[in-house]
Structure formats: structure tokens, C-alpha cells
Structure 1
């Protein structure tokens, strides 16, 4: 069963992520392209540092080339945002990014990118899933044949992508500050792009974990307070201005401030949105998902703007951004973008924009956050990821979403939403939400309150209610 979640199709290598299934996905994409009469447009293929990613990329090229489609393969390991940019630049019908993003090392997958460099919509992936069910064989040629017959072409879009970001940031302001930065690539793919941008802006940069390690050093390749211990220590030991980390495919950002404190992605988005409105004088609403801080709402309101709430999945954020001409869109997992850039999350661009904010304001991330909290108040955000046996998933879904059973909460409830999972809004402005992960067998609980104890209390109430 090949099923696409919020971040694409992800599966355990040699279990479901097999050569056979990779070829089935590519064949289904080829059939879909022909069914829609889009054979004149190319398909972009890119891949990350994971085990078998390069091999899987070539398998996709071989199948698509055998179906007489034009395939453009990015010449080396590439960040997902660069692949999205390349789909847009070449006006491609599809992009296939071979990645499992922040999942554990035993996973790999395929992320579908559609025209204009957008995350695939539910209807796009559903169409491909339905085609897969009808396929009993696939076409393929050897990679060498595809190159020789010019059905497969190798391209290098790195310079264009880097130059596009450099044009969108205030490089002169950054050059004047001569920042000292430590960059943790987390054994991922951001080095060739983000490091170039930072060095071009005359930052002094030390790089951690920039070699290829398909086990990601035994850590999850996601920038969190649990995985960035070494970066935090190095920031303190070397007295640097900023620590930056990106996840395995560089679409998510993690930040360590000059005091060695991990800065939550909610706060990164808040700082960048506030900076764009207050210091750059830009205007526009914000878009966030149901599991992202409401501090964004307060910032938007103070500047006469609105914040829109959407389901989890960046396709919903980018879609709403387009609809309301939003200035910024993001999520609590560390992905964001702004108007005028690609229509997907980009940890590389977000990092460059944050560096600009520090240089223009002449403040650290810690100082900017303190200023924001003085104006809007401080909120505490907590999350819990609860693993469960697969046989329990249906009963849990029925309990929460079908029967709509909820625990008795210790605080007064204002309303309940089932936009994505279930979200309970409290009258004092706090909230708690729970939803099933689209990529792992995990139930995610998020809560935001004005005090840490209240956050932990409502999470515990939900865990006991679900017996997890």
C-alpha cells in the first residue's frame, strides 16, 4: 500500500521503500502526466543524503525516460526547497524529491511537487495513489540509455537558487555586522547553499556535521532542543552570535541564540513576522496551521492584519497564502516562507532572513524575543508525541473524531474545532490540539497556555483520557 501523507510517501527502507515500489510511483506519475496531456513539460528529480536516495532518483529517471517524458535530474544532493524552486523555474509538471525529511534514518520516501513548485494537493496524490492500484507492470530503460537518448538531462540549478535568495535579503546590512555563526547541517544537504549565502554576506561560519552519514549520527535529523546539544555547547564555548541548524532536507530551521538557548520555531516565525512588519514596513496577513502559536495572531492584529488558521500540511499554508496574499506562512515544526519566494517551506531562506533581522535591528534573537514578549505577553508551547500500536489507530480515531468524545478539561472551554484532528480553545486564550501524524504511527498533542504547569496539565489530561 503506497499512501501519501502530509509530507509525501515515506516508508521503511527494504520493507515498503523498495525498488519495485519506487518504480510504481514513477510509472503512476508518468501515466498521470499523459492522462492530463502535459507531456511537453519536464519532470524535475532531486534527492537528499539518505541511504539509497541517489539510487532511487536514478530509478525514477529510468522509468520516466522509458515513458518518453523529459527528465531533468539535479546533479548532486539537493535541499527540497531548491527542488521546488527548480520546478518553478523550468515550468515543470512535476518534481520528485527523494527524501524522508526529518524521519528516522531507516526511512526514505518521495515527495511530490506540482506545477509552480507547490506541495502536491490531496487531489494530486490521491490521483497518483489510484493509478498505482491499476499498474501491473512498468517501463524502464537504463540510466545510461536515457542520458544517451537525451531523455534524461543532468542540470545544476544551485547558482540560480542561491542568487535568488541573495537578491531577497539585505546583504549590505549583514556585511556590516561581521557575524560569527555556527552552522549544523545535521548530516543533511544545506551546506552547498546556506554556507555560500552566509559567506557571501561576509559572516564567519564554522560548520558541524557536514559529512554524509546515512545514520545521521544516531540522531533524528530534525533541529530540536533534544538534537542540538552539541550546537548549543559550541555556541556558548565560542561566544558566537548565532547557531543555525536545518533538518535532513533543509526545509526546516532550528536556531540557538547567542546565550546557547534553543529557540522554538514558533518564536522564529514570530520574530521574522514582527521584523517584516515593524522594520521593513511590509504588510500582509499571516497563515499558520492548527498546531502553531497564536502569538502570530496577536502580532498580526496589532498591525491591522489578520492571521488565518489551516490544517497541518504546507500545501494548505501555501494555498491560503495565495488566496489572501499573505506576507508569511509557517508551522511550529520549523518550516516557513514569505510572499515572493517559493510556495513551500524553506529553512535556508528563513535562516538568511533571520540573520538579516539581527543585523538590521542590531539585536540578538533573545533580545528581539524579549521585546515581543514585553509587547504581546509570553506564552508557553509544549508538545507530546505518543506512539501507539497500529491496531489501536481505528479505535482512537473513532473515539476522538467519529464519536467526538473529549476529556473533561480543567479550564473553561470556548469552542472545539475539527478542522484537522481536534482542537480545544480555552476562554483564557490557551488551546490544546491532537492529530495523527501523516508520516509516522504517532499521535501528536500540542498545547499553548500562559503558564508551563497549565500546558503540562492539559496534555496529561488528554494522555490519560486516551490511555496512551
Structure 2
């Protein structure tokens, strides 16, 4: 089976395609890419999944045998910390053994080149070509004791430097003075020892949950979405907590519940934080979002007379404009964001701290901040439907039907369409749009819908359901 990199690295099911044999091959391909481009020093890290320490050791042994020095954190490490370490220690790249928010049976490899961003398509395409030429029997290995004696292996702790960098971006003292009561759900992931340690110093009252390693992630995928976080809704409301903050398996995504226990979609959080950064912190510059992200952040940018930069889905595209355009905030609806002068990678820990900072600045509850935003900008109704497919033919039939979507619409006309990333349709009412695109990391087709009017959104949803019995 061909090894392919998606929008965020290579992911596969352990024991099926994600094997020690394939990990060796992928690592050797990355080593050859690094050597070709003068790379001599990288960070190798891992998340909390099953056997990631074994995979990370194998990766280090292959790299060391290729003459590439490996810096390795002792504990599971968030993806944004890997990105930070690459930039701070001036490394040639980083490899993180993680499948992020995927189910427990998955593992994966994320590769970030020397700028700390997710590897762009041209880099992963080159690595894929190298993979095809590699003979596993010829891949060299060097045990880590020998590598250490040859200065090709070193244990590091990037946490203090990363914490210092965050303290220069976030108003820690203002959060401290706000006296916030916070629940932090670490979802058994890589933010253990990071988000909880930070919150211990800045929150008036802190309840940390799921803060130990569990490779099964409590029986679900480590994704801080509404389904996963809703178990805390009544606790927040009944016991007067201010907010719940959460991160996914490798801490690049975030999830938020407000003081009423309501899940706040990342689409909304991105817009709220853009408003906070412009209004409260005086930031100037464009916002960047993916094609699948709500246009609520556009409305905020226009208020402050700033540009909106749109990219295809995948933070690797946002990273490019984040660096080249110095975007105030770059975000995607799946729960990833970063800001100017930080890492060109999604940072769920940063996102959680920004939410606390916003509450502290506004001196209002998060639910009040949300109401104030809606009063000023109106409602942005949006949703996403994820559809699993068993075969490529089934998926193709479904996508073909969307070419005739107008036949299924009632009192709604298409005024524009594009195929920049999937198929996107703009309609003649209420700023409405619909995007259908296959996932870059899973056997799923995602459908994104948004309208300023709830009834129009329902009309669009009805059309999707008519097109396929799979869209529930």
C-alpha cells in the first residue's frame, strides 16, 4: 500500500500500515530529504499513544545512523512545542510521532521543516517519491547509547523556553488578577504537564481532568468537540465554573465550554479572539482563515479595516500567510489557530490561554462576551457534516451528485462557485455558502455550511440530505 501524506502528516492504523517497517522507511526518506537540503539536527518527539516511545526511538536510531543529530524530549510533547523548538534552537526540522485527534488505533508521523511549519505539499511530495525508492533492508540503525557518545543524540526539555515564549505573548498578570475558575480537560494527551502546569500558576481555582496517559483516550478519539466535552456541561453551570478549556491528542487543537456549559465552536472562538486582539491588544494586520472557516472573522477584520486572507484547508497553508503577511490571527474551523510572532503551527495551548486572557480583559463572562458579539455582528449559523465511506466508488458517486445540487434546493440559487479546495457554492441569500471536500487525513467527506439566516441553513441541509442517504 502506498504511503501518502495528508494535510497534516502521515497517519495509519497501527499493525496495518503503521508498522515498525514502514516507520523505518518513512524516517529514512525524511533523513534523505534532510541531508539533500543540508539538514543535520532535528527534534524527535511523541504523543501519548500506544508504543510511541518505541516508534520515536526507532526514528532516532535511523536518523543518527544517517549522521543527523537528534534532540529528544523525555516526555510526550505537544506539536506546537516541537514547532517552537525547531525555531528556537535553530534546528533543521522536527518529527512528532502522533495521530493528533484520530481514534486510538491510529498512529502517525508529522514532519515540520526548518521554519517550524507543517511540511508543505512540495516537501511531502518529495518525501513520498523518496519512500518509493527505499529498500528497507539497507536502512542503517545506530543504538542511542552509541549515538550519544558520538554527539548524535541528546535528551532536552523545551518546556521552560516554550513557557517563557508564551508569557511574552499572553498577559499572564491580567489573567491572574481576574480570579478565574477553570476546568482543564487534557484528554489524556500531550498537553499533560503543559496546560495544567501553566494554569496552576494563573487560575484562582483549577480542576484538571483526564490528566494521565491512557492510550485508549477513555474509549473515544482525543478530540475536544461538543460530543466529548458535553459531560462537563452541567458541572460547569451548577458549580459556577467560568470556562472549560481543552486540547486534543497532540495539543494543536482546542475546545471550549462557556460558563453556561455551552460548547463554543472554534469558528466563533476565532472571531472572538480576532476582536480581542484588535480591540484590547491593539494589534494591526490581516486575519487568515481556511476556505472551510466561518466568515464571522471577516466581519471583525472589516470593522477594523483589515484584510482577510483565505487559504485551502490545512494549517500548512495558513502557516505560509502567517509568516509572509504577519497575520494577527490564523485559524481553521476544526479548532486550530496561531497568532503573529508565534509558531507557524496550530497551538491549542496558546488558544486556551488567549480565551482566558480575553475573559480577563473584558471583565465579563464568556457567555456575555458571546452575546455582545452577536449584538454587534449578528448571527453566523454554521455546521459541518462528516460522512464515512467504505469505498472510493461510493465516495465518487456522492461527490458527482453535488454537481447538480441546485436541483435539490428550494428558493435558493447559486450565484457563484469555485473548486479551489473541494467544491464550494455561494447562494443568493444571507451570505450563504456550502463547501464539500474529502478529508486529507481520514476516509471521510466533509460538508461545511454557513448562513446568516437559520431557515436558509435548514434549506441547505435539506438539500444535502436529499442528495445522499448518508448525510444524517
TM-score by length of 1: 0.96
In 1, Cα distance between equivalents of 2:4 and 2:397: 20
In 2, Cα distance between equivalents of 1:232 and 1:154: 40
Instruction: Give the structure 2 partner of residue 59 of structure 1.
Output: 58
Residues 149 and 400 of structure 1: is their aligned pair in 2 closer, same or farther, counting only changes over 3 Å?
A: farther
Q: Is the 8 A contact 1:23 1:63 kept in 2?
A: yes
In 1, Cα distance between equivalents of 2:401 and 2:263: 33
Q: Alpha-carbon deviation of 1:81?
A: 0.5
Instruction: Give the structure 2 partner of residue 457 of structure 1.
Output: 459
2:310 aligned with 1:318: no
Instruction: Give the structure 2 partner of residue 440 of structure 1.
Output: 442
Unaligned residue ranges in structure 2 (runs of 5+)? none
Residues 294 and 121 of structure 1: is their aligned pair in 2 closer, same or farther, counting only changes over 3 Å?
A: same
Q: Is the 8 A contact 1:184 1:231 kept in 2?
A: no
What is the correspondence of 1:217-366 to structure 2 with a 5 Å cutoff?
Answer: 217-366=218-367
Q: Alpha-carbon deviation of 1:377?
A: 0.6
For residues 429-454 of structure 1, what are the alpha-carbon distances to aligned partners after superposition, in whole Å with 9 as ceiling and x for unaligned? 01111100011100001101124443
In 2, Cα distance between equivalents of 1:386 and 1:338: 31
2:54 aligned with 1:32: no
Instruction: Give the structure 1 partner of residue 148 of structure 2.
Output: 147
Q: Alpha-carbon deviation of 1:467?
A: 5.2
Of 423, 429, 432, which residue of structure 2 is paired with 1:430? Answer: 432
Residues 398 and 433 of structure 1: is their aligned pair in 2 closer, same or farther, counting only changes over 3 Å?
A: closer
In 2, Cα distance between equivalents of 1:456 and 1:442: 22
Q: Is the 8 A contact 1:445 1:459 kept in 2?
A: no
Q: Alpha-carbon deviation of 1:356?
A: 0.8
TM-score by length of 2: 0.95
RMSD: 1.6
Residues 382 and 394 of structure 1: is their aligned pair in 2 closer, same or farther, counting only changes over 3 Å?
A: closer
Count of residues in Structure 1 that have an aligned counterpart in Structure 2? 464
SS at match of 1:28: helix
For residues 229-280 of structure 1, what are the alpha-carbon distances to aligned partners after superposition, in whole Å with 9 as ceiling and x for unaligned? 2222321232111111111111111011111111111111111100111121
SS at match of 1:255: strand
Residues 244 and 374 of structure 1: is their aligned pair in 2 closer, same or farther, counting only changes over 3 Å?
A: same
Q: Is the 8 A contact 1:46 1:57 kept in 2?
A: yes
Instruction: Give the structure 1 partner of residue 188 of structure 2.
Output: 187
Q: Is the 8 A contact 1:400 1:422 kept in 2?
A: no
SS at match of 2:228: coil
Q: Is the 8 A contact 2:318 2:331 kept in 1?
A: yes
Instruction: Give the structure 1 partner of residue 131 of structure 2.
Output: 132
Q: Alpha-carbon deviation of 1:334?
A: 0.8
2:77 aligned with 1:75: no
Question: Greater shift after overlay, 392-401 or 225-234?
Answer: 392-401
Q: Is the 8 A contact 2:293 2:332 kept in 1?
A: yes
Residues 386 and 58 of structure 1: is their aligned pair in 2 closer, same or farther, counting only changes over 3 Å?
A: same
Q: Is the 8 A contact 2:98 2:107 kept in 1?
A: yes
What is the correspondence of 1:192-203 to structure 2 with a 5 Å cutoff?
Answer: 192-203=193-204
Q: Alpha-carbon deviation of 1:172?
A: 1.6
Instruction: Give the structure 2 partner of residue 84 of structure 1.
Output: 83
In 2, Cα distance between equivalents of 1:331 and 1:400: 27
Q: Alpha-carbon deviation of 1:400?
A: 6.8
Question: Greater shift after overlay, 445-454 or 121-130?
Answer: 445-454
